Amino acid sequence: MLIPGFREFDWMQDVRLELDRMQREVGRLFSGTSIPYSQRFPAINVWSKEDNVLVTVEVPGVDPKKIDISVEGDVMTLSGSRVHEELGEGEIYHRQERPHGSFRKSVRLPFRADGNKVEASYQNGILTIKLPRVESDKPRKIAIKSE
């Protein structure tokens, strides 16, 4: 051996490289990057009242005219795409975290919604969707007859 301890250094360097690789892999798994973009985006909140469901969706940078909302029974489906930002001549990315591409997300609602009466509005990157409950699904008060 020409340099004392050289083999030991190689072994420790291999261990450090392997630990670094494992740390990156665990970080990737827990960061959500293993989940496809179409399943992570957009973030959706859903809550209900007796007569309707309210859905808010974070869609910054998405043209509301390019968002499709469909309702079938108790499932609302949202689809669209976020366009890739074009760089000007001589510009290069130094960091790019905002994903782009197509998305499609379906949400099961707590009851059937009337697709003909759905209302949607878009403000400051938030899409708000109000889905009224189908009349036949609304709770009914039952009168009790007494004799």
What the block records as the tokens of 92 is 């290069």
- The answer to whether position 110 is within a domain reads yes
109 and 80: one domain?
yes
Question: How high is the pLDDT of residue 15?
Answer: 79
> 42: cis peptide before it, omega within 30°?
yes
- The answer to whether position 51 is within a domain reads yes
110 and 71: one domain?
yes
26 and 79: one domain?
no
Give mean pLDDT, residues 17-26.
82
Alpha-carbon distance of 55 to 42, in angstroms, equals 12
Q: Is a pLDDT exceeding 70 seen at residue 4? A: no
111 and 66: one domain?
yes
- Reported as a single tens digit per residue, the pLDDT across 38-73 is 456 788 999 988 889 999 999 988 889 989 999 998
- Reported as a single tens digit per residue, the pLDDT across 67-125 is 999 999 889 999 998 887 788 898 888 777 777 788 899 999 988 898 899 999 999 99
Strands (E), the chain: 43-48, 52-58, 68-72, 75-82, 101-108, 119-123, 126-132
Q: Is a pLDDT exceeding 70 seen at residue 137? A: yes
Instruction: Give the range of the structural domain holding residue 27, as residue numbers without chain letter.
Output: 1-34
8 and 62: one domain?
no
Question: How high is the pLDDT of residue 68?
Answer: 95
- The answer to whether position 107 is within a domain reads yes
Question: How high is the pLDDT of residue 128?
Answer: 97
- The answer to whether position 44 is within a domain reads yes
Q: What is the number of domains present in the chain?
A: 2
- Reported as a single tens digit per residue, the pLDDT across 28-40 is 676 655 555 445 6
Q: Quick one: how many helices (H) and strands (E) in the chain? A: 2, 7
46 and 23: one domain?
no
44 and 30: one domain?
no
Identify the CATH number of the domain in which residue 119 sits.
2.60.40.790
